[in-house]
Amino acid sequence: MNRKSALLVGLLLAGALQGCATRQNPDPLEPWNRKVFGFNESLDANVLKPVAEGYKVVTPEPVRTAFTNFVSNIKDVWSTANLFLQGRFKDGTLGVIRFTVNSTLGLGGLIDIATPMQLYKSNEDFGQTLGVWGVKPGAYIVWPVLGSSTLRDSAGIPGDMYFSPSTLGTYPREENVLRALQIVNARANYLSATNLVDDVALDKYSFVRDAYLQRRQNLIYEGDPPEEDEMDDPSQPENVAPPAAGASEVGAATVPDAPVPVKTAQAESAPNPWAMFP
């Protein structure tokens, strides 16, 4: 299956199964998800984590940082494309400048010199774009190796994979080596975070699921998600904030009382410790 076909299948799947999940039950596939989660945990404990620990020992930190920056710079292309798709043209333009600066002055993205210039990274993907335009997340789903997702976010997986170092390989062997290196490097970067989860989570599956869903919601609403009752029924009068003193009824409904919060640089660059492809 080519990438276009995979994307189409993802979109159709998300649309067909959109109604399977509700706010009260975002995980109707939990029995199946727990089995896949258990498989991923076993794969991680027996293969990925030991390899990542060895990789971290033998690979100097500057080399790991350079490769992380390189991967991040390639993903900036996809992130910037999604900024434009979301209608955020100013942020998209800054994304183009960031990629250009790091790709030229930053030696192909090996050095991140854009961030000190306050050209901050935007972690956007196609799942967020669909969410911005009103597509509901649908059921939570755990994919083998890839980990946490939703039916909506799954539509963005082909794009996430395409904008990765593996596409730079000329032959399948080169692509596989680059893909494996990306996974191991990402796992090495998140060793401390996943160790913390192992220590504090009584039910690791529920902890990872709830953290993923909350993070995705915060990303889509730029750190300011609406209250639950507003999301469930935004048309009800009781869910509408009262107008400010002296404001007309029309003005109160169309003009916000305060500026919409924007993402800080820290929120933009915060990693997801449960994603194989950051």
For position 4, what pLDDT does the model report? 52
Q: How many CA atoms lie within 13 Å of 250's alpha carbon, on the beta-carbon side? A: 0
Three-state SS sequence of 29-49 = CHHHHHHHHHHHHHHHHHHHH
- How distant, in Å, are the alpha carbons of 225, 249, 252, 254, 257 from that of 242? 19, 9, 8, 12, 10
The two tokens of residue 235 are: 């048309």
Nearest to 138 by CA among 127, 154, 150: 150
pLDDT tens for the chain, 278 residues: list them: 455 554 455 555 555 445 466 777 889 999 999 999 999 999 999 999 999 999 999 999 999 999 999 999 999 999 999 999 999 999 999 999 999 999 999 999 999 999 999 999 999 999 999 999 999 999 999 999 999 999 999 998 888 888 888 777 777 888 888 889 999 999 999 888 777 777 776 789 999 999 999 999 999 988 777 776 444 444 444 444 444 444 433 333 333 443 434 443 333 333 444 444 44
Secondary structure (H, E, C), 119-177? CCCCCCCHHHHHHHCCCCCCCEEEECCCEEEEHHHHCCHHHHHHCCHHHHCCCHHHHHH
Report d(CA 26, CA 264) in Å as an integer: 28
Q: Is the pTM of this model over 0.75?
A: no
Output the pLDDT for position 116: 95
